[in-house]
Amino acid sequence: MSHTWDPDRYLAYADERGRPFVDLLARVPAEAPKVVVDLGCGPGNLTSLLADRWQGAEVVGIDSSPEMIAAARDIEGVSWEVADLRDWARPDPLALRAPVDVLVSNATLQWVPGHLELLPGLLDRVAPGGWLAFQVPGNFDEPSHTARTELAAREPYAAHTRDARVPTSHDPDVYARVLLDLGCEVDAWETTYLHVLTGPDPVFDWVSGTGARPTLQSLPDDLRPLFEEEFRALLREAYPADSSGRVVLPFRRIFVVARKPDGVRV
């Protein structure tokens, strides 16, 4: 089931969502890449950091959401393109596509079913000696996701939500093994951030802009408010506010930085 993204809602927690990107980028030691690509660039606020760091590079931001790319087009120094990440993993037997020196994907692969099988194809787009770096959430067993899944499986919601997209990812060692088997040098790790949120139902506000959005959009207008009310209540119970109204949201993220061997095409 298709859904659309809201750049403004996504950017409501821009600082918190941006920190993993910065942490990922810090572990990519490329010095003077010619071509840098951000797959799943969203509204482009983080892609601009690539242009700032590698000012001599051609930087390209790619996202499948026209809404996100429309929001990004005002950012200078980057070329923007609406495209599906999966197209980048398809074979190029004639080697017509230019190689990429740094290929970055931040909080995107979790939306692509079977993305583990796409890694060889993505690595094939990287120039020998180049870098593939990505980050995905690893918190799908947390109440922020499990509460939505359990609620969406109940009637009267299930008839509408069963085909809604849900994100998923793997542990860091799984990604590392795939890329090691492809001959890469691999740096893989995980970090759990503790985001301090404020305001009424802040965890709902967070997830409704990302992981829960396809589920919410799958519901008809007459059911969505009831679902949201029940979902908010479950999240308030799972993430209670302290006496000052602060909510702590633990958020585990998975990071992988892989360097492709010189002179090797996978």
Per-residue pLDDT tens digits for 82-116: 999 888 888 765 455 678 999 999 999 999 999 99
Adjacency order of strands within the sheet including 247-259 = 79-82, 58-63, 35-39, 100-106, 126-137, 247-259, 185-197
Q: Does position 202 have pLDDT exceeding 60, yes or no?
A: yes
Cα–Cα distance between 243 and 139 in angstroms, integer?
A: 26
pLDDT, mean over the chain = 90
pLDDT score, position 5: 46
Q: Is the pLDDT of residue 2 over 80?
A: no
Single out the residue of 107, 124, 249, 100 nearest to residue 182, CA to CA.
124
pLDDT for the residue 265: 46
pLDDT of residue 4: 56
Parse the chain into domains and list their residue ranges.
7-259
Please tell me the CATH superfamily of domain 7-259, with its number.
Vaccinia Virus protein VP39 (3.40.50.150)
Query: Is 254 a residue whose pLDDT tops 90?
Result: yes
Residues 6 or more apart in contact with residue 70 via CB below 8 angstroms: 7
